[in-house]
Amino acid sequence: MQTKSELKTPTKQDLKQFSRLLWSTNISKGLIAIGLAGSIITTLTQLMIPLATQRFIDGIEFDFFTPWMIAAIIGIFIVQVIFNGFSNYVLHKIGQHVVAGLREFLWNKIIKLPVTFFDRYASGEIVSRLTNDTSIVQNLISSFFPQFINGILTLVGIFFILIVMDWQMTLVMLTAVPLALGLIRPLGKRIAKVSREMQDETAIFSGKVQQTIAEIRLMKSSTAENYEKNKGEADIAKLYRIGLKEGKYISIIGPLMYTLMMGVMVFVIGYGGVRVARGVMTTGQLVAFLLYLFQVIFPITTFMNFFMQIQKAAGATERIAQILDEKEEAKRQGIKLPIDDLPITFDHVSFAYEPGKEVIHDVSFSTLPGEKIAFAGPSGGGKSTLFSLLERFYTPDSGEIRAGDTLIEDISLHSWRSQIGYVSQENAMMSGTIRANLCYGLPHPETLTEERLWEVLEMAYAKEFINRFPDKLEEEIGERGIKLSGGQRQRINIARAFLRDPKILMMDEATASLDSQSEKIVSQALNKLMEGRTTFVIAHRLSTILDADKIVFIEDGRLTGIGKHHELIKTHRLYQLFAKQQLSKE
């Protein structure tokens, strides 16, 4: 399982990828134009204030400040506030649009990825990419980008005004720019590297926390509180150390910038004072120059923050792009094929979860429509893997699985899986109501009547216990159905299979969690449901498969026997042992 990405400084390619990803979210060019127009108007009003101050100080008659002129100056401030707020809102809206688009891309991609992807990545890490990394991009566009745009416009405007006012003073002030870049650039790169490390470690920590919370009962029943406490504290301490490292660099940059700007200001005041004394420059011009210098400080600080943030965003984009570049499940857009009257054939199928470690070796067998096929054998032999291959969670490394003469990979995933009813031994449930779980995945659940829901619940021997709940079908069952017993969850899963009316049934010991009375009734319902349908059963108890049309015996991923019960008990030594151990006790 991948838990950490290689750290590296973002390249031009990373930034190009970042730009392409942003534009792929269909950002409104009209909104961008409106936001930039608001920023331009805001900047122009800000640039007028020092000029008005200069004219006042340089002895413009007080008659110049008529009520209309005072109203105009106040109006300038009001216009600045209005347009500044408006442009910031528009640019913030663009940021929200971008992050919503990125999350939509990611979510739509994630739910289409194969099971192998989720085998490689912790669920908490994927969640972190969907939430934390996209939030970094949103923060860049909503907060730092507007400040960056305003800063660029402000600097350009101030530069031209200062050149006109006094080009020599302007050149003196501009000498600080290369000095600032020389001091900040190496520190900025280190901050970006530390920030990317923080992103990776945060994603890993999120994955560990999510896993611990998901298995909280295991943790408590195992009295593992101290173990989890120590492990969590170690991870938190690691995040703390990375945060301190980032804070150390930021704390160096802040005073450096302050000292540099104060030095420039002192130098400008001194040099400007000399020029005022010589009569080359007026006092009003010097004051205006200083006011513009104050206006320059904020954009420069903004640029520093923006470029650090854009490197963070480039790192986040790299991870987002990694997910978007993952291959989706194969043949999602295949043919639609009814499979109720087709034989299913495994033809020399081999499969390995990892290269060189085969768990299924050259397995071949076929079924006729309507047959009951049981998989038996020692635990870990590969029975559940065969189910996973049949569900197309994985693709065989070699060999073929066919429905009739058609490779199942050539059938669209929706067409294939919609015709399969799967009841697993894990009793999988989603948080929500009983009704939501019954109808989960059905194309038009709103068309199902109450009578039909209660009918399938009765068939699965679930009607009685659900009727005892205060809210009945609307009863909330908690995360993963934790408020229900294992047997109750299993019966709701069986009812869901009834409701799908599948062409193929796949049951991983569907009655294992039921008491003897419930098992008898549910088995009768399952037998009725199996009529005319191909059924695959993983058998942990041979007593449940004595009537199977074929029993496929799997050992260490190999098919070592196939036939009916009375055939295998005569020819297969390990099956004989299984039968002796189990059937003699029943």
Question: Could you list the active site residues?
Answer: 509
Secondary structure letter of residue 544 according to DSSP: G
H/E run at residue 482: none
Tell me the C-alpha distance between 148 and 308, whole Å: 12
**Tokens, residue 143:** 């907060």
Tell me the C-alpha distance between 558 and 576, whole Å: 18
**Tokens, residue 461:** 């021997």
**Tokens, residue 286:** 């010097």
Residue 132 near residue 312 (C-beta atoms within 8 A): no
**Tokens, residue 212:** 């611990």
Q: Determine the straight-line distance between the first and last CA of the chain, rounded to whole angstroms.
A: 43
CA angle 111, 421, 486 (to 5 degrees): 90
Phi, psi angles (nearest 5°) of residue 293: -65, -40
Phi, psi angles (nearest 5°) of residue 470: -60, -40
Tell me the C-alpha distance between 399 and 350, whole Å: 6
Cα–Cα nearest to 324, from 116, 96, 117: 117
Tell me the C-alpha distance between 270 and 286, whole Å: 10
**Tokens, residue 146:** 């507007």
Q: How many CB atoms lie within 10 A of CB 30?
A: 9
DSSP secondary structure, 392-435, as one string: TSS--SEEEEEETTEEGGGB-HHHHHTTEEEE-TT----SSBHH
Residue that the structure tokens 């939430």 belong to: 131
**Tokens, residue 317:** 């984009």
Tell me the C-alpha distance between 410 and 403, whole Å: 10
Residue 502 near residue 420 (C-beta atoms within 8 A): yes
**167-174 and 176-214 are packed helices; what angle lies between their axes, rounded to 10 degrees?**
40
Secondary structure letter of residue 578 according to DSSP: H
Query: Which letter, b or e, does each residue of 95-129 get, where b requires 16 or more Cβ atoms within 10 Å of its Cβ?
Result: bebbbebbbebbeebbeebbeebeeebbebbbebb
Kindly give, in sequence order, each residue whose CB lies less than 8 Å from that of residue 331, ignoring residues fewer than 6 positions away.
409, 410, 411, 412, 413
Tell me the C-alpha distance between 449 and 84, whole Å: 56
H/E run at residue 543: none
